[in-house]
Amino acid sequence: MVEVQRLAAGLVGGVLAGRSLNAELAALWRRRAQSAARDRSAIQDLAYGTLRFLGWLEAVLEALLQKPLRDTRLRALLLVALYQLEHTRAAPHAVVDHAVRTCEVLGLASAKGLTNAVLRNFLRDRTALGARVQRLETARFCHPQWWIEKLRAQYPSHYAAALEADNLHPPLALRVNQRRVATETYLALLAQQGIRAEAIGETGVVLASPLPADRIPGLADGLVSVQDTAAQLAAPLLDLRDGMRVLDACAAPGGKTTHALELADVDLVALDSDERRLERVHANLARLGLNARVVCGDAAESGTWWDGKPFERVLADVPCSASGVARRHPDIKWLRRAADVAQFAQVQRHMLDALWQLLGRGGKLLYATCSVFLEENGEQVAHFVERHPDATRLTLPALDDDPRLPAGQLLQTPRHDGFFYALLQKA
């Protein structure tokens, strides 16, 4: 546990210093390529859990300290240990003892007494401490205050449920490749192996309990792909037909690209500006036995890659705040700033204007984000239609049963992530 605590605290400390969790994990696994899968899972679980509940943990830690804690390594270690005590089944005495020993490993021997006192005081007063910090919204919802206030202003009837859903473990959803197997047949295959699951929509299957990728039946053979059920709405909304010329403008890692190709035999260009991320597009195409022209290029600067032939369909899954998928990437909550939303909106506006020029007359563009903020979604689309008289926003089938939500908006729930869709047609 000492090594697991130390490495998890290092990951958390990296995020608190402003670095992304994905980057920190990638660097850690490069240094520790031989780490056992069990150790990797334990380290990752502690880091994700600590960041998921960081608002509550920080409030509790502040209440336990008599003066501000300056050492960032010690702070991260205490946050990880508090998470273990509150949210895991690890024996409390073992968590405390190992945290004290981890201090020594980190070169913080002088902090052993403080670490022991803080964690034992938490165990003694945890009920009272929990009740006290719950009065703070950042502790109760485990989100930064600006995020809470923005959601409350934009979704007064839904914000609390959306914030709470952000703190759940994300569901493991699969998309069944209808070219290979019917959804009912795949569910029967799961049942034969004792794996409980339920169908969501025509192609979605949600597992009752998560599984490692190598234990998901048929994944390696292309029977299914891992994809949230809200993300699975994109390809069907494009209204694809065989022979169409299609652009997936921000394709990596390839989930929506491959779904489109599973639905119809289209001439598809999978575009992304990140060469390394395009490797995953190639891998997913190969796994599923599908073909597309994979291109590295900037969707907002078509001069370097576009052949001048208009597309009949464009999928614009644009860069965004990712506020709808924060439970999958809990560091997002603490790395994002309120000003970032407006900056993303500017990028989206520029990209939308550029992609519109590539769409043929009568063609359709599906605008998509994994954001829940209106500035990136409904407001962005409304401004676009004002700027482009040849654009009409088409009515989509109901994506959510709640009429109080804006058209095309899905907020995160225990069953799916937060997403937004708008379908635009060129006159």
Q: Which two tokens stand for residue 408?
A: 């095309």
Among 346, 359, 350, residue whose Cα is nearest residue 391: 359
Which residue is listed with tokens 């009920």? 127
- Secondary structure (3-state) at 371: coil
User: Mind giving me the DSSP string for 44-91?
Assistant: HHHHHHHHHTHHHHHHHHHHH-SS----HHHHHHHHHHHHHHHHS-S-
The packing angle between helices 145-154 and 159-166, to 10°, is: 140
Q: If you compute the radius of gyration of the chain from its CA atoms, what whole number of angstroms results?
A: 23
Q: For residues 322 and 226, give the distance between their C-alpha atoms in angstroms, rounded to a whole number.
A: 18
Q: Is 120 left (phi over 0), alpha (psi -120 to 50) or beta?
A: alpha
Check: CB of residue 219 under 8 Å from CB of residue 213: yes
Q: Kindly list the catalytic residues.
A: 370
Q: What angle do CA 217, 170, 320 make, to 5 degrees?
A: 115
Q: Which of 288, 279, 273, 268 is nearest to 227 (CA)?
A: 288
Instruction: Indicate the burial class of 209 (C-beta count within 10 angstroms; 0-12, 13-18, 19 or more).
Output: exposed
Cα 111 → chain centroid: 36
Is it true that the peptide bond before 253 is cis, omega within 30 degrees of 0? Answer: yes
Strands (E) across 84-147 are located at none
* CA 110 – CA 315 distance, rounded (Å): 56
- Burial zone of 246 (CB within 10 Å; 0-12 exposed, 13-18 middle, 19+ buried): buried
